[in-house]
Amino acid sequence: MELEGLDVMWTSYIVNQVLKRVPDSVLGFCFYNWVELRLGFVHDYYTYKSMICLLIRDCRFEDLSEFLRRIKDGGFYIHRSIYRILISGYVRAGLIDLAIWTFDEMIESNCRVFSVDYNRFIGVLIQEGRFDLAERYYCEMIPQGFSLSSFTYSRLISGLCKVRNLGLIERLLHDMDKLALVPDIWAYNIYLNVLCKEERLDTAIEVLKTMYCKGSEPDVVTYTTIIDGFCKFGRYESAVEIWHEMVGRGFSPDVVACGALVFGLCERGKVDLAYELTLGMMKHQVEFSISVYNALISGFCQAGRVDKAQVIKAFMRRNGCEPDLVTYNILLNYCCDELMLEDAEKLMDKMERSGLKPDSYSYNQLLRAVQSQAFKTKPTF
């Protein structure tokens, strides 16, 4: 071996520098074993660490396992920093179970573990969706005087929302309150979304109030989420109240919030209220989607007020929103229900002139009206 001819005093520092610069772990391991046989040389923390990093870098995890067993048998005490390197390497390689085993070993050893270790590892478990283990480690760390950072708390709350573990979320929020920590707006909004889906709407309102008390300003997504939740469960009066609160606090409503409220009110037959809110939204320069206009047109048609529906159709055009096939089919459906065949035919002509092609629904509605009219005028004997 060429190294034999070198006039070098193989100190731990020099060996460590060589190990840091070898191109691969195979060559590194050969050098590690060679220098170990030199008279008077003893590997230390730094050379062990460099060799471990080499094996991790090259994903030689079976060899790494054997190497760890070898140095432990030799009396080497694994330091916290090496445990951190091992856990990080296993996580990057997707060996999560091995990372968990190593983390448990670190906790059971005599090396000192810090809050940051729990924060990092619970963050990994959140990313992997291992919420049962995240809860276990959380319950272990709290009695030791450790705590999660606001960031990790927020990530855990967001993750627990995916599995609807509302009980643990409430405990985390309680613990955060004792530590004067506050979830970020993303965690709050995800939590509110789950509460609304679970029909815990009153709890959602309490959370909204808590946000203001703790200095965490809600955003338009916060309000949109709650408004949509109230609409889905038919509590439109409350949804309108929250809407007015949102606007009163200076938030510019977005099209999602507008749509949720308008759709819900129209479905409940409260089309006039929906129309009033729509006019108010225009003051905030909200650009409506065609679906919002269609909801209003449909609402007025169902209320038998086709004249108002026609006004909205003209209004949407003035605002640069051309009626689509759904718009025409809504009006066509009204005309056919009322057996206004002449008006229905005119609508079909307008559709084609505007470049829209009537679909099967259009023709079926017209055919149904023609048959109803024929049956109605059929002479009886």
**CA separation (Å) from 303 to 26, 219, 232, 361?**
80, 35, 21, 21
Over residues 118-129, mean pLDDT: 95
- Give me the pLDDT at residue 52, please: 95
Nearest CA among 6, 59, 57, 56 for reference residue 34: 6
Q: Which of 117-126, 227-236, 303-312, 346-355 tops mean pLDDT?
A: 117-126
Mean pLDDT, rounded, for 297-316 = 87
Mean pLDDT, the chain, integer? 88
Please count the other Cβ atoms lying within 10 Å of the Cβ belonging to residue 141.
Answer: 20
Q: What is the SS3 assignment for 25-53?
A: HHHHHHHHHHHHCCCCCCCCHHHHHHHHH
Q: Which residue has the higher pLDDT, 90 or 307?
A: 90
Which of 28-37, 184-193, 219-228, 255-264 reaches the highest mean pLDDT?
A: 184-193
Please name which of 10, 7, 8, 50 lies closest in space to residue 28, comparing C-alpha atoms: 50
Closest CA to 12 of 3, 30, 38: 38
* Count of C-beta atoms within a 10 Å radius of residue 345: 15
Q: Which percentage of the chain shows pLDDT scores above 70?
A: 94
The encoded tokens of residue 335 equal 């005309």
Element of type H or E holding 7: none
How far apart, in whole angstroms, are the C-alpha atoms of residue 149 and residue 114? 12
Looking at the predicted structure, is the pLDDT value of residue 3 above 70? no
Residues 6+ apart with CB under 8 A from 71: 43, 48
Say which range, 241-250, 269-278, 371-380, has the weakest mean pLDDT.
371-380
Tens-digit pLDDT profile for residues 19-40: 999 999 899 999 988 888 876 7
pLDDT over 90, % of the chain: 46
Give the number of other Cβ atoms within 10 Å of residue 224's Cβ.
26
pLDDT at 284: 67
Name the pTM for this structure: 0.78
User: What per-residue confidence (pLDDT) applies to 86?
Assistant: 96
Residue of higher predicted confidence among 92 and 240: 92
* Residue 316 pLDDT level (bands cut at 50, 70, 90): confident
Over residues 195-226, the pLDDT tens digits come to 999 999 999 999 999 999 888 889 989 998 99
The confidence score (pLDDT) of residue 4 equals: 61
Segment 1-9 shows an average pLDDT of 64
CA pair distance 173, 182, nearest whole angstrom: 8
Phi, psi of 333 (to 5 degrees): -60, -40
Query: What is the average pLDDT across 119-129?
Result: 95
In the predicted model, is pLDDT for residue 357 greater than 70?
yes
Output the pLDDT for position 99: 96
Which whole-number Å values give the CA distances from 118 to 121, 135, 187, 219, 366, in the listed order? 5, 11, 20, 31, 67
pLDDT at 97: 96
Taking the C-alpha atoms of residue 28 and residue 79, their distance in angstroms, rounded to an integer, is 22
Asked whether the predicted pLDDT for residue 381 surpasses 50, the reply is: no
**Residue 343 structure tokens:** 């008006």
Reported as a pLDDT band with limits 50, 70 and 90, residue 379 is low
Helix, strand, or coil (residue 214): coil
Of 139-148, 167-176, 237-246, 284-293, where does mean pLDDT reach its minimum? Answer: 284-293
Q: Is the pLDDT of residue 54 over 90?
A: yes
pLDDT of residue 262 exceeding 90, the answer is: no
Q: Specify the range with the lowest mean pLDDT, choosing from 184-193, 224-233, 300-309, 367-376.
A: 367-376
Tell me if 300 sits within 8 A of 312, measured CB to CB: yes
List, in order of start, the domains of the chain with CATH numbers: 209-322 (1.25.40.10), 324-381 (no CATH)
Residues 99-124 have a mean pLDDT of 93
Q: Is the pLDDT of residue 183 over 90?
A: yes
Core vs surface per residue 288-309: b (16+ CB within 10 A) or e = beeebbbbbbbbbbbeeebebb
State mean pLDDT over 338-354. Answer: 88
